[in-house]
């Protein structure tokens, strides 16, 4: 995935989120199912707002500092 194009988009595919987080697609779906990662349905497609990825990572970092 091209870093410039990924950062200019507002919504990411599950496989793109997996690549950014360096985890598998199944783990991304687990995070979505558990409510840890917000996502939306766009027609029949699952998309993750870039802001949701940032929020989740920030939350994880904050929790790990405690």
Would you state the pLDDT for residue 33?
98
Residue 4 has pLDDT above 60, yes or no: no
| Pick from 33, 44, 32, 37: nearest CA to 59 | 37
The pTM score is 0.83
Rounded percentage of the chain residues whose pLDDT exceeds 70: 89
Sorting pLDDT into bands at 50, 70 and 90, what band is 8? confident
Q: Cβ atoms within 10 A of the Cβ of 2, count?
A: 7
In the chain, where are the structural domains located?
Answer: 3-65
């Amino acid at each position: 995935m091209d870093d410039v194009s990924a950062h200019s988009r507002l919504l990411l595919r599950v496989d793109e989120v997996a690549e950014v987080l360096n985890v598998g697609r199944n783990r991304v779906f687990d995070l979505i199912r558990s409510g840890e990662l917000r996502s939306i349905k766009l027609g029949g497609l699952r998309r993750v707002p870039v802001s949701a990825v940032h929020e989740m990572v920030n939350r994880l970092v904050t929790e790990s500092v405690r």
